[in-house]
Amino acid sequence: MPSWVIAILNSKLAAFFIPLYVYSWDDSGYLLQKIFVERFPIPRINTIDQQPFMDIVDEVIAKKLNGENTTALESEINHLAYTIYNLTDAEINIVESG
């Protein structure tokens, strides 16, 4: 799976959508099998729009390996996801507060 898709699946937007598309496994989490993940709406984006996600993912991995904080980078991924899904400010507020 491409790193830009993994970035989206680890974003706040995915955390908001996963309960809508993925089978809940009691109170212990979600059953992330292929059949459920395939239902998650991943937009088709061109290589140019994929690159910022991949660059940030590389940075996150490097920082995590060094025990560094990645909160700011994760926030960048969230905002990139909001952009490719064309969310309004109101919709972003719902996701951020959810």
Task: Write the DSSP assignment of 51-76 as a string of letters.
Answer: HHHHHHHHHHHHHHHTT---HHHHHH
pLDDT above 70 for 25: no
Give the pair of three-digit tokens for residue 83. Answer: 């952009």
Q: Which three-class secondary structure state does DSSP give residue 23?
A: strand
pLDDT score for 72: 98
Percent of the chain clearing pLDDT 70 (strictly above): 88
Number of domains in the chain: 1
Higher pLDDT, 30 or 78: 78
Q: In whole angstroms, give the CA distance from residue 24 to residue 19.
A: 7
Question: Which residues constitute the domain of residue 51?
Answer: 3-97
**Of 63, 44, 72, 58, which Cα lies nearest the Cα of 7?**
58
Higher pLDDT, 43 or 38: 43
Q: Report the DSSP beta bridge partners of residue 30.
A: 24
pLDDT above 70 for 16: yes
